[in-house]
Amino acid sequence: MIIKVCGMRDEQNIAQLKKLNPDFIGLIFYPKSSRFVGETPLSHLSESFAPAKKVGVMVNESEESILKKIADFKLDAVQLHGSESADLCKKLKSRGISVIKAFSIAGEEDIERIADYAGCVDFCLIDTKTPKVGGSGMKFDWNMLNNYPINTPFLLSGGIGPDDAELVKNLNFPAMVGVDLNSKFEISPAVKNIGQLQTFFQQIHKSEK
């Protein structure tokens, strides 16, 4: 199962997280977020996170702005967390950029609109719809994912916490390939509890052996 840890910023905290071997590490470029990394590519944010892939999380940015951040921060992928069009996703993907499109879910109509992005993205990320953009710590009704309309693999996000490993492992959605972890593992905004993450990682991967 893919594990993405989002909302990272602190140099030491990122170094500790890398030792857990997450698949994706997310940096948030949304200025209104308490986890905003800023516009200046500090050295520890622009260096490689390999073997983890560095994902830039952006909200309603222009194609030009997205491409600049990819270059400045040496991003391996982008996560578009606003109302970005399927056409923009497709353009970025055609450039060889790995694209994750986030969808905020409150009702069935939110699930249905995912169908417009078939073939346009590498992954979908399914989050909880709230007044904020991500990082709410709230779950939506996961049963709605029984109606997930496309074959594109997705990551489940929204309120997944340290005690949810067993719950996640028992989910049975064919297109679900991983999870996105953020606020429920935080000591403070953009600083994660590494001990809690390590335990969660071990619980998730234990079932795969």
- CA 13 to centroid of chain Cα atoms: 18
Q: By the 8 A CB rule, do 20 and 198 touch? A: yes
Instruction: Please spell the DSSP secondary structure of 119-148, one letter per residue.
Output: TT-SEEEEEE--SSSS-------GGGGGG-
DSSP letter for 1, please. Answer: -
Judging by DSSP bridges, how do beta strands 186-188 and 191-192 pair with one another?
antiparallel
The helix (run of H) or strand (run of E) holding residue 89 is: helix 86-94
Q: By the 8 A CB rule, do 60 and 82 touch? A: yes
Residues labelled catalytic: 6, 127
Q: Report the C-alpha gap between 32 and 54 in whole angstroms.
A: 21
Instruction: Please spell the DSSP secondary structure of 9-33, one letter per residue.
Output: --HHHHHHHHTT--SEEEEE--TTS
> Could you give the angle at which helices 11-18 and 194-206 cross, rounded to 10 degrees?
20
